[in-house]
Chains A and B, each alone.
Chain A
Amino acid sequence: MAFQIILNIILAVIWMLLHDRITLLDFFIGYSLGIILFFIMRRFLRFDFYFTRVIAIIYLILIFIKELIITNIDVAKIVLSKDMNINPGIIVYPTDLKRDWEVVFLASIISLTPGTITMAFSDDGRTIYIHSLHIEDKEEAINRLRHTFEKTIMEVSH
């Protein structure tokens, strides 16, 4: 991946030198050209086309913003309702993520969305204990959403 980024920058510099114009615009054009070339020749590269990871990161950010809005509305509904009919509880969530920073990343995303908070990790650090504000009808849905987060994080870091 690092090799591809370096090669991409070299291609952009070659593009600037060929045009004899050392400007940011020409660097940008050369860099985008390099991305297009990598995309066309992606089966030739020994590693994955690195831009798919950039797209995965953007996708993760979009998912996070969407979840943030939805869960904010849910929590606001609970707080503003007359009779607070909630069913709090703790979810034990075993994760498939391998590296430590991935698990920490997932846990902080869970904490940042309202309604759920990461309480603790198991000793091996691969099981997360999540406190949820309202579980009864949502456990399945929450688990599914966590799987989308987990899947996207895996796509970013694989």
Chain B
Amino acid sequence: MNRNLFFNTVVRTILFIILVFSIYLFFAGHNNPGGGFIGGLMTSAAFVLLYICFDIETVEKIIPFNYVFLIVLGLLLATGTGIIGIFFGYPYLTQFFDYFELPILGQTELTTALLFDFGIYLVVIGTSLRIILDIAEDD
């Protein structure tokens, strides 16, 4: 493990900065470059850094997510937000948005497109990490 000393120590700090940047990209998608796809890719890139740093068993202890479950959850979220419109007599995938006064955040625009984007975010993380892990675990 000593040969990785430099790498591990740097990753310990850099990882959180990458994660914050990926979350920024995810929320920036509405008005600026960014969105669910690039945000999800960057989050999975941060996790790939972990996999390079440690062995697979250790990382599974650190992030105890089932990636296939993440894909299912993301797809359900994306289709679910599309179906909401049907109940109110609008076509499939109609998006709603409104301005709300939240307790601390003040006036915030909340849209159902964000939930759709979050579904994409989860699917991208799940898919990319599952692909990489399937290749890595194949002996």
**How many A-B pairs with Cβ below 8 Å?**
43
Report the separation of the CA atoms of residues A10 and B21 in the bound assembly, to the nearest whole angstrom: 12
Give the A interface residue count (CB, 8 A).
Answer: 21
Which residue of B12, B15, B61, B104 contacts A28 across the interface (Cβ within 8 Å)?
Answer: B104
Asked whether, in the complex, the Cβ of A25 is within 8 Å of the Cβ of B16, the reply is no
How many chain B residues sit at the interface, stated as a range, is 10 to 19
Is the C-beta of A86 less than 8 angstroms from some C-beta in chain B? no
Closest to A4 in B: B16
Is the C-beta of B50 less than 8 angstroms from some C-beta in chain A? yes
Closest to B54 in A: A44
Is the C-beta of A78 less than 8 angstroms from some C-beta in chain B? no
Asked whether, in the complex, the Cβ of B50 is within 8 Å of the Cβ of A30, the reply is no
Please name all residues of chain B whose beta carbon is closer than 8 Å to the beta carbon of A33 when the two chains form the complex. Answer: 20, 23
Is the C-beta of A68 less than 8 angstroms from some C-beta in chain B? no
Q: Is the interface of B mostly helix, strand, loop or mixed?
A: helix
Asked whether, in the complex, the Cβ of B16 is within 8 Å of the Cβ of A11, the reply is yes
Closest to B20 in A: A11
Within 8 A of B (CB), among A118-139: none
Please name all residues of chain A whose beta carbon is closer than 8 Å to the beta carbon of B13 when the two chains form the complex. Answer: 7
Q: In whole Å, how far is A79's beta carbon from the nearest beta carbon of chain B?
A: 44
Closest to A45 in B: B12
Query: Can you spell out 22 A-B residue pairs with CB atoms less than 8 angstroms apart?
Result: A7-B13, A11-B17, A11-B20, A14-B20, A18-B20, A18-B21, A19-B24, A25-B104, A25-B105, A25-B106, A28-B104, A29-B105, A34-B20, A37-B19, A37-B20, A41-B15, A41-B16, A41-B63, A44-B12, A44-B15, A44-B62, A45-B12
Residue ranges of B at the interface with A (Cβ–Cβ < 8 Å): 12-13, 15-17, 19-21, 23-24, 50, 61-63, 104-106
By Cβ-Cβ distance, the 4 closest A-B pairs, closest first, are: A44-B62, A18-B24, A43-B62, A11-B20
